[in-house]
Structure 1
Amino acid sequence: MPSAQDPFYVVKAEIQDSIDKLQSTFHQWERTSDAVERGHLTKEVLAGCESIEWQVDELDKAISVASRDPSWYGIDEVELESRRRWTSSARTQVGSMKKTVEARASATSHASVNGMRQELMRLPNSSQIEKSNQYAAQDNDDFIHSESDRQMLLIKKQDEELDELSESVRRIGGVGLTIHDELTAQEKIMDDLGAEMDSTTNRLDFVQKKVAMVIKKASVKGQIMMILGLLVLFIFLFILVFFT
């Protein structure tokens, strides 16, 4: 079972946190009836969807690399399938929110165009224009002041969220570099181990050939004498170790 320090789970936690924040913004977008605020939230949700989709794509690429040799990364096919299901679920959640916001934005745009056409078809007389200008003049100052305050708050909030997004991207980039360094180090270790195994194999072959040559050259009598000599040496060492 992969540990919680597995780079996949670190990145997964970052993406899940971004999805949770995006869902909160999406619910706020659904509840608001203010046109200006809805426009700001629409841009925010779409930008968040694009960012998360990019992060999920990068995570999918890492899973594809690991699937080429799962045992190298200490995982199995069951774990790989679990990771694929999570990225697919995350992409589905983000895609659903993105489609909903885009559809509403498109409908609003068409409605706005139709409204402008209807307004252009109307021919207001001079008295109506004069009354409208009078009402506009009375409320103009209050509206400008209120709208200015609203825009400043929205801009400040957007700056804070962009800072959080930038920090999240930097952390994911750092995790990616860590994964790359770890893979490079493991590849070097495997290369060194392979070289050591080749060297040991060559030495073992050399020793086996030498032993075979010695046995082949020795006569039957010589082999018996060698065995007896080794037996005497063993008995001597046994007595030396256990009786002295």
Structure 2
Amino acid sequence: MSMEDPFFVVKGEVQKAVNTAQGLFQRWTELLQDPSTATREEIDWTTNELRNNLRSIEWDLEDLDETINILFRGVCAIWGKQTDEQDMKDQMSTSSVQALAERKNRQALLGDSGGQTWSAGMTDKYGHLDRELQLANSHFIEEQQAQQQLIVEQQDEQLELVSGSIGVLKNMSQRIGGELEEQAVMLDDFSHELESTQSRLDNVMKKLAKVSHMTSGMYGV
């Protein structure tokens, strides 16, 4: 089997996709563990990329399984034996064994149960992972909404405090203004009283001067 055979081509694509998916899964886990450092855009992008990579792996594995079936039928035709497909795969080349091991590793990575076959478990497995992704995203959104709600409540409390302070200052300003108006009225009244007193004092002084002048005339002073 040459390196140009479809088996090796698909196997390389699957391995590359698995490596990419593992990196995305690690990053996705880090983002969910510490949402405060993640943006909504990064969470969505990582989730979508992880989902797309897993679906791509599923398609590539279907191609790989089809390639193995073709090889199986060819070997059966050469050997002329009716051998059980699974037993025949176990007797294939080292490359086929490695592909099977990689498949089992991917099953373990994605949480597939041992009692299910690969083709039967693919849909449930990816459906379960997709539900986990959606659930994790829902939790992230709920946490973000809770944080936003907390911020809004704190801002409302601060606005209430500021509003209360403004109300107190307004009342103080009104009281001070009222007192100043009262003082202005008192000063105005005092000014009028002072003017009236000064006028009366002037009249008295004039009368006193006149009396003094008349008295001086009478006594020839």
* TM range, smaller chain: 0.3 to 0.5
TM-score by length of 2: 0.43
Q: Which has the higher contact order (CA 8 A, sep 6+)?
A: 1
Which of 1 and 2 has greater Rg? 2
